[in-house]
Structure 1
Amino acid sequence: MKPEDFDYISKMLKDKSGLVLTRDKSYLLESRLMPLARKRGFKGLDDLIGQLRRRDLALEKEITEAMTTNESFFFRDSKPFDQFRQVVLPNLIKTRASRRSFRIWCAAASSGQEPYSLGMILKEESARLAGWRHEIVGTDLSTEILRKARAGLYSQFEVQRGMPMQLLVKYFKKKDDMWEIDPAIRAMVQFKEWNLLEDLRPLGQFDVVYCRNVLIYFDQPTKAHVLEAISKQMTDDGVLYLGGAETVLGVSSAFKPIPGQRGVYAVARPHEMKSLGEGG
Structure 2
Amino acid sequence: RFSQFEIQRGLPVRQMLQWFEQDGNDWVARNDLLRRITFRRQNLVADPAPGQFDAVLCRNVLFYLAPDLRAKVLDTFAACLRPHGILMLGAGETVIGQSNRFVPSKRLRGFYEVAGPGDVPPAYAAH
Q: Where is the helix percentage greater, Structure 1 or Structure 2?
A: 1
**What is the DSSP-based 3-state SS (H/G/I as helix, E as strand, rest coil) of the residue aligned with 1:256?**
strand
Deviations 1:195-238 (A, max 9, x none): 2123233x211233222222122221111110011101123433
- Deviations 1:244-273 (Å, cap 9, x if unpaired)? 21111111111123469653222125x657
Deviation at 1:180, TM superposition (A): 5.0
Contact 1:246/1:263, CA 8 A, preserved across alignment = no
d(CA) in 2 for partners of 1:184, 1:261:
23
Secondary structure of 2:7 counterpart: coil
Gaps of 5+ in 2: none
TM-score between both structures, scaled by the size of structure 1: 0.34
Structure with higher Rg: it is 1
Write out per-residue CA displacement over residues 175-207 of structure 1, whole angstroms, 9 at most, x where no aligned residue.
xx9765444433333322222123233x21123
CA-based RMSD of the aligned residues comes to 3.3
Gap change, CA 1:186 and 1:266, over 3 Å in 2: closer
1:171 has 2:18 as partner: no
The SS at the match of 2:113 is strand
User: Mind listing any 5+ residue stretches in structure 1 that lack a counterpart?
Assistant: 1-153
Q: How does 1:192-207 map to 2 (within 5 A)?
A: 192-201=40-49, 203-207=50-54
Q: What is the TM-score normalised by the length of structure 2?
A: 0.66
Cross-structure match for 2:6: 162
Match of 1:255 among 78, 96, 102: 102
Classify 1:278/1:227 alpha carbon distance in 2 versus 1 (closer, same or farther; 3 Å).
closer
Change in 2 beyond 3 A, CA 1:197/1:161: farther
| Corresponding residue SS for 1:230 | helix
Structure 1 equivalent of residue 91 of structure 2: 244
The answer to whether the 8 Å contact 2:21/2:27 transfers is: no
TM-aligned CA distance change 1:172 to 1:184, over 3 Å: farther
Misfit runs of 4+, over 6 Å: none
Match of 1:231 in 2: 78
How many residues are matched? 117
Question: Contact conserved, 2:102 with 2:114, CA < 8 A, in 1?
Answer: yes
Contact 2:53 2:80 in 1 (8 A): yes
